[in-house]
Amino acid sequence: MNTDNSTWSRNQCNYVMIVEKSFDKFDEIKCSPDFTIPSAIDWSIGNLSCAKVKKTICGHNSYCANSTRGEGYLCRCSHGYQGNPYLPSGCQDIDECESQKENMCPKNADCVNIPGSYYCTCRQGYRSDLSKSSPYGYTCILDYERHMLVTLIFVGVGVGISILILVVTGFWLIRKFKKRKLEKTKERFFKRNGGFLLQKQVSTSNRGSVLEIKIFKTEELEKATDNFNQSRILGKGGLGTVYKGMLSDGCIVAVKKSNKVNEGQVGQFINEIVILSQINHRHIVKVLGCCLETEVPLVVYEYISNGTLSQHLNNNNTNSSTSPLSWAQRLRIGAEIAGALAYLHSGASTAIFHRDIKSSNILLDENYRAVISDFGLSRSVPIDRTHLTTVVGGTFGYLDPEYFRSGQLNDKSDVYAFGVVLAELLTGQKVISSNTSDQGLAFRFKTTLKQKDGLFEMLDRVVANEGGEEEIFAVAKLAKRCIKLNAKKRPCMMEVATELQRLARTNGEDLQRRPKGCELSYFSSGAMSFDYSLDLFTDETM
């Protein structure tokens, strides 16, 4: 530094500094106390080179560099690190990805920092492409195939989700629509099946005898009968089919599914419900409720477990689960049926005519007690009055001929049908045989009674072996009176019930006195005649 040089005297801002040899920006120096110029001092540690130094004092992530003066060495931070290389952990990783200036990643590329360095990766949907015009040596261009694939995937997923939403919404709307339609259908069926008529009859009843009727839901009865499975059928009739079912509380019931009804039969169905709800008799089936929401009405009855009287009387019955009825049982069953009919005819202020008494409508419980069922054709009329019907109802073979001709309904029509049932109990024969010319059991029975010993030829084997002479003739005479063509000459059911109950009690006493194993056979002697029964054969008034 030559301070005698003229420049020192002309320049009022004079500095002395140590700079790198490459520094050439002296004209930018300003005379200001805040002005700084980068300076460099070349120094080194010791006088040995890195190769000869066994152990340096350089820290982690650093390296040893020989001094530029030729003697000693210096510590430098490794590439990608910065800090004090002489401290154990002085050199720290530089995150080149924090600033675009620190990395060389091109457009549409992501910078990924790694210890001491970084790398670039093209973004999703782009791919690398070598390019001389790019300062980075490559560029990230749009991957059209991948982009198209991704676009298609996203579009497909979007469309799929949209379709799924539409399908789910559609199913929900359809289900809601079907539910609403089902509710309207149930309401329509309820109205068509006489639901409002039933409500009206119950509400307007002033006798206080209408029992509470449970209104079942369709689903309850479908579940109870296994969707009305054919294997659950107990029996079929002209008015419907009866299924065995079990309710959710474990109660066994009989569910009657009526045949498809028209408007004229609705009143008939409701009539059965109302009549049964008014009756409280141990030998008359109990109605538990009904369902009017279905296309055809459903009625729920108590379940009677031992089949019908018809099944037990049929001599050709091969069902091993049924056994022939004894004479005592037949007498008792006849007395029970007669007592129930007498109750219907005269046990209330309004008489009830069943109109369809037959052995298949008489059920037997586990103790062979008789229970009358199927009141679909029944009519309620004031006592001492008859009722003119426009449509005659009943079953051929049990149908009162006088009622069939006149249409005049009274209690004697039930008496006639019961007389046929008594004939069944005596003979065990079918009311209508397979012979096309057969006029029915009532005609056969009356015709046979005109013949001497004809009755015993017609009797069921069990009746002939177990029954007493007086009892058999008394029941036969009673049956004959019941099936007289002239209804006025028929006895009333109260008289019939009284006589049969007397015979049943007498038979019970005789059985107690009769020695065990003693049986009477009325077929062994061939011809029979009884003085006290002559009127049975000689009475010409049929």
Active-site annotation, residues: 356
Q: What is the DSSP string of 329-377?
A: HHHHHHHHHHHHHHHHHHSSSEEEE-S---GGGEEE-TT--EEE---TT
Task: Please name the residue that has the structure tokens 């009989």.
Answer: 254
On whether the CB atoms of residues 403 and 426 are closer than 8 A, the answer is: no
- Residue 283 tokens read as 């030998």
On whether the CB atoms of residues 84 and 61 are closer than 8 A, the answer is: no
Calculate the alpha carbon distances from 504 to 313, 457, 470 in Å.
19, 23, 12
- Rounded Cα–Cα distance for residues 247 and 232 (Å): 14
How long a stretch of residues is the chain?
Answer: 542
On whether the CB atoms of residues 234 and 254 are closer than 8 A, the answer is: yes
Residues whose CB falls within 8 Å of the CB of residue 74, separated by 6 or more in sequence, listed in order: 43, 44, 45, 64, 65, 66, 67
Calculate the alpha carbon distances from 380 to 8, 88, 163, 275, 350 in Å.
145, 115, 62, 8, 6
Task: Please name the residue that has the structure tokens 């006025």.
Answer: 488
Quote the Cα angle for 226-195-302, to 5°. Answer: 45
Q: What phi, psi does 363 have (nearest 5°)? A: -95, 155
Q: What phi, psi does 255 have (nearest 5°)? A: -110, 120
- Rounded Cα–Cα distance for residues 450 and 519 (Å): 27
Output the CA torsion sign for 420, 355, 260, 390: positive
Closest CA to 61 of 118, 116, 114: 116
Which ranges of 193-280 does DSSP label H, i.e. alpha helix? 195-204, 218-224, 263-278
- Rounded Cα–Cα distance for residues 327 and 314 (Å): 15
DSSP 295: S
